[in-house]
Amino acid sequence: MKVAIVGGHGQIALRLTQLLHAHQHEVVGLIRNPDHQGDVRAHGGEPWVVDLERSHTGEVAMGLSGADAIVFAAGAGPGSGAARKITMDRDGAVLTADAARLAGIKRLVIVSSINADRHDGESDDVFQVYLRAKAEADDEIRARADLEYTIVRPGSLTNDAGTGHVTVGQGLDASPVTRDDVALVLREALEQRAAIRMQFDLVNGDTPVGEAVASL
Interval 53-83: pLDDT, tens: 999 999 999 999 999 999 999 998 888 899 9
Percent of the chain with pLDDT over 70: 100
Question: Per residue in 109-129, is it b (16+ CB within 10 Å) or e — as a string?
Answer: bbbbbbbbbebeeeeeebebb
State the pLDDT at residue 120: 86
Percent of the chain with pLDDT over 90: 94
State the pLDDT at residue 174: 92
Alpha carbon distances (Å) from 184 to 11, 101, 157, 205: 13, 26, 14, 14
Cα 13 from Cα 105, distance rounded (Å): 19
Residues assigned a catalytic role: 130
Helical packing angle, 91-103 and 57-64, nearest 10°? 60
Specify the number of domains making up the chain.
1
Cα 171 from Cα 52, distance rounded (Å): 31
Decide: helix, strand or coil at residue 156: strand
Q: What is the CATH number of the domain that holds 172?
A: 3.40.50.720
| pTM across the whole model | 0.96
Alpha carbon distances (Å) from 81 to 9, 91, 127, 130: 20, 15, 9, 9
State the pLDDT at residue 24: 98
Report whether pLDDT(6) > 90: yes
State the pLDDT at residue 122: 83
Cα 194 from Cα 28, distance rounded (Å): 23
DSSP state, residue 86: I
Range of the domain at 189: 2-214
The three-state DSSP-derived secondary structure of 21-77 is: HHCCCEEEEEECCHHHHHHHHHCCCEEEECCHHHCCHHHHHHHHCCCCEEEECCCCC
Cα 126 from Cα 132, distance rounded (Å): 10
Q: Which positions ≥6 away from 195 have C-beta within 8 Å?
A: 150, 189, 213, 216
Decide: helix, strand or coil at residue 164: coil
- pLDDT averaged over every residue in the chain: 96
- Look at residues 65, 26, 60 and name the one whose alpha carbon lies nearest to residue 46: 26
pLDDT tens digits, one per residue of 114-160 = 999 998 888 989 999 999 999 999 999 999 999 999 999 999 999 99
